[in-house]
Amino acid sequence: MSSEAQELMDMATEAVRRGDDREAAECYQEAAVTYCKAGLRASALLPILCAISVFLRNGLPQRAKSALADADKIVEDLNGVGVEEHTLESIRMRRQQVNYELSQVAGPTPVVAPKQGDETKTGSDETKTNGEASSTQATAP
């Protein structure tokens, strides 16, 4: 089973070289599943991290977030046993990248301007000049 997973990793690497990110992501995910089926859950983290990178590169932060949740579940199930520190650090870095990308997709919080005619006049807005009420409402050119 682990040789099958390694073959899938090799196929994914080749797909990346060809620029076929879709195939690469599918191979990485299949390799992760294959490692898990073989009982090598910690080994599944590398292809998951690779898939996350492919998703982020292609503007798919939701898919990256889902794959990151899979990685978190594996680490949690293993209680971190057998997971190298640099792998945990890679997961933390990918989490930051995913969160950043998701925040960019959501965009900045919009500032809602009041609808024309909804402004309420207060204070100096109500002062009269030459018999007319002044207003802060802008008129369209």
Whether the pLDDT of residue 129 is over 50: the answer is no
Residue pLDDT, tens place only, 41-51: 999 999 999 99
Q: Is 117 left (phi over 0), alpha (psi -120 to 50) or beta?
A: left
Name the percent of the chain lying above pLDDT 90.
Answer: 69
Query: What 8-state DSSP symbol labels residue 120?
Result: -
Percent helix, strand and coil across the chain, each rounded to 5? 65, 5, 30
pLDDT at 117: 61
pLDDT band at 87 (very low <50, low <70, confident <90, very high): very high
Task: List all residues 6 or more positions away from 35 whose beta carbon is below 8 Å from its beta carbon.
Answer: 1, 2, 5, 41, 43, 44, 47
> Domain map of the chain by residue range?
2-106
pLDDT at residue 107 is higher than 80: no
Interhelix angle for 61-78 vs 45-57, to 10°? 160
Could you tell me which CATH number the domain at 2-106 has?
Answer: 1.25.40
